[in-house]
Structure 1
């Protein structure tokens, strides 16, 4: 199963993509089960309820799904928790030693965007960078988990995410801060799908990015310093995780910060993919002051 949200930004409709008896993928509306793909849906057994409904044939097929915009596969989460430098080679290209414990920071939830939405480059940005990441969706409340084994049980599923970062705001000088560099509007494209945790092994997935058709990142999730279950356990020691929260697990080597590639510019096309989770694409444009990336209108 692949959970999706379809329709205009702010008015997405929950749906699921599943293969029929002939192996042909079809899209079905989840309206009989839920108003949206959110924390309450995940925490109340929504994944299993969807399986039962598919088996019983009670979900309506969305024959026009191919004509609809694909939004982020979850509603805006309560928290986006990010892990920095979780691949040794990326830490090295960033000029840092691999961390001995996870580096954790937060990103505003209002940065979520659809996987194919046009992506704004902020006014004045000089070093806008891509980061393909495996995203973890939390499925039940969790705090002070006893072990990574317990943590695995609270993971609802996985997504592809792009942690877009303005390095000129993030790093240099006394005003350089990770929050400033990673909080820009529409800087967290997510999707296209949410795949349930019991249908995907995150241990050794191919994870890749391309810019204008040229490979930038090409690694495996097995290169992570800290795996998803360890990360969920670790983060739960410091904050309450709620259903629908998103944890970004870090990016492999191959970003522009390495100095090997140019930073993103208007007109560039980025493609990011993870095995089993699909491919997202963003075409970048130069935003103007006062532009609202959610509506396309002036503020």
Structure 2
């Protein structure tokens, strides 16, 4: 069982607590946690609450005498139940440069130096004249860190991608940059696991990227453990840090985003309405396994921390034989 401590700066956050086969929506404050009734929530379920994001209602419960329990005694699962998961590709400048230089490209004729220069110019041009690049993930892949990450046997190059995830509140459809932040309920942590050798189709490179196979195996989107209200987090300047077995692999801030959070929300909302509870991943910084030439293995432990959001611990296990 993953033991969680309240390593976030906010006065409170939401979580989902697993009790056997039942999952309860819960309020976390300091080192305490308590279940929430629908009457206390003022909504029929989590996504109904996020549509209004009436955080003042929950703030009033922080100092009450409800049935609190120690957070360390709770088993937490993913704090969200999204109907849609949108993922942002190539949104940290150095991340893309590293991946291209490491050989993750359809053009293998460039030297590492040429690849870095090519990717740097590409990112600078995108930031100046481009727009965000989105693809969709399966909500079924969203799990808590109470579940182990099972590494499929069909590949040896499963990689990590720590990301700040926006949790949508009020429905957003064709909103402007200026309106975008009014549709954010809060933030959480995601680790967007990627099988690198499946990113590009070997049978027809002209098709391009195959994000379905590369990113949507069971459990490939560990999420949480906390959903922190947007008013307590400045998503434009948080630090992300991922450690693999205690060794730092990713360490960056969202100041390096090519497209900021308002641009992402506005851009994604132009095609399809973003619904309450949906996840919008903002991209992953440099330091993936493709760069280090080290991929996930049986027994690995990843700890991903983001300022104000706590720490997520993911334990890897090999797919059982047979």
Q: TM-score, normalised by structure 1?
A: 0.88
Which of 27, 31, 36 is residue 30 of structure 1 equivalent to? 36
Which of 213, 216, 220 is residue 249 of structure 2 equivalent to? 216
2:59 matched residue in structure 1: 51
Cα distance in structure 1, aligned partners of 2:150 and 2:246? 19
SS of residue paired to 1:150: helix
Cα distance in structure 2, aligned partners of 1:174 and 1:257? 22
Q: Give the deviation of 1:149 after TM superposition.
A: 1.9
- 1:188 and 2:221 equivalent? yes
Count of residues in Structure 1 that have an aligned counterpart in Structure 2: 280
Which of 93, 100, 106 is residue 88 of structure 1 equivalent to? 93
Q: Give the deviation of 1:47 after TM superposition.
A: 2.2
**1:69-108 matches, cutoff 5 A:** 69-75=75-81, 77-95=82-100, 96=119, 97-98=122-123, 99=126, 100-108=130-138
Cα distance in structure 1, aligned partners of 2:320 and 2:197? 18
Any conservation in 1 of the 2:28–2:71 contact (CA below 8 Å)?
no
Q: CA RMSD in A?
A: 2.0
Q: Give the deviation of 1:130 after TM superposition.
A: 0.3
Structure 1 unmatched ranges of 5 or more = 20-24, 291-299
Structure 2 unmatched ranges of 5 or more = 1-11, 101-118
SS of residue paired to 1:83: strand
1:40 matched residue in structure 2: 48
1:22 matched residue in structure 2: none
SS of residue paired to 1:234: helix
Q: Give the deviation of 1:8 after TM superposition.
A: 4.2
Larger radius of gyration: 2
Cα distance in structure 2, aligned partners of 1:284 and 1:53? 37
Cα distance in structure 1, aligned partners of 2:27 and 2:316? 28
2:113 matched residue in structure 1: none
1:227 matched residue in structure 2: 260
1:296 matched residue in structure 2: none
Cα distance in structure 2, aligned partners of 1:272 and 1:244? 22
Q: TM-score, normalised by structure 2?
A: 0.82
2:191 matched residue in structure 1: 162
Alignment deviations for residues 137-182 of structure 1 (CA, whole Å, 9 cap, x no partner)? 000111011x212000000000011000111111352366122101
1:295 matched residue in structure 2: none
Alignment deviations for residues 71-106 of structure 1 (CA, whole Å, 9 cap, x no partner)? 11112x100000001100011112143242111000
CA distance 1:9–1:152, shift in 2 (3 Å): farther
Cα distance in structure 2, aligned partners of 1:267 and 1:18? 32
Which of 148, 155, 162 is residue 118 of structure 1 equivalent to? 148
Alignment deviations for residues 104-135 of structure 1 (CA, whole Å, 9 cap, x no partner)? 00000000110342111012122100000000
Q: Give the deviation of 1:43 after TM superposition.
A: 1.0
1:11 matched residue in structure 2: 22
Q: Give the deviation of 1:42 after TM superposition.
A: 0.9
- 1:200 and 2:208 equivalent? no
